[in-house]
Amino acid sequence: MINEILHDKRLIKYLCMAVIIVALEIANFQIIYLLTNDYMTATIFSFSISVVLNWIGSRLFIFGKSEHHPAKEFLMVLAVSLLGLLVQILTMLLVVKTLGLYPLLGKILSISLSFSWNYWARKNFIYSS
């Protein structure tokens, strides 16, 4: 299994791009959180910015164009991402409300949990050709 992962060039590219997108998402989260003092607003807005950046990066550098019209492709990415957003919101609630930890820690954990779903769904349903 490790060998398969190391030879999946798209996964390696996706991981590299993810590092950049995650850094931007965390920075956006922290800025929005400091401005609003509302971790849910910061979660949703930083996630939304990342979805758009990830779609552009995936299209240009990882998967290429899909067989779908760009508008339909974006809507598909958005649909997949909504589940990722749900994971992030639930994780944030657990980490901040239940465990009483700092929101940035919850954001980092929530991004980690939603990463695998996003890659798998995009690879298998949106850019499967």
Q: How confident is the model at residue 31 (pLDDT cuts 50, 70, 90)?
A: very high
Residue 63 per-residue DSSP state:
S
Backbone φ and ψ for 37, nearest 5 degrees, come out as 55, 30
Length of the chain: 129
> How do the domains of the chain map onto residue ranges?
2-126
Query: Distance between alpha carbon 110 and the CA centroid of its chain, in Å?
Result: 9
pLDDT of residue 3: 62
Q: What is d(CA 35, CA 44) in angstroms, rounded to the nearest whole number?
A: 14
First and final C-alpha spacing in the chain: 22
Q: How confident is the model at residue 123 (pLDDT cuts 50, 70, 90)?
A: confident
Q: How confident is the model at residue 103 (pLDDT cuts 50, 70, 90)?
A: very high
Q: What is d(CA 102, CA 120) in angstroms, rounded to the nearest whole number?
A: 29
Give the CA count within 13 Å in the CB-facing half-sphere of 118: 25
Residue-wise pLDDT for 32-87, tens only, equals 999 999 999 999 999 899 989 988 988 888 887 778 888 898 899 899 989 988 98
Residue type, 57: G
Backbone φ and ψ for 91, nearest 5 degrees, come out as -65, -45
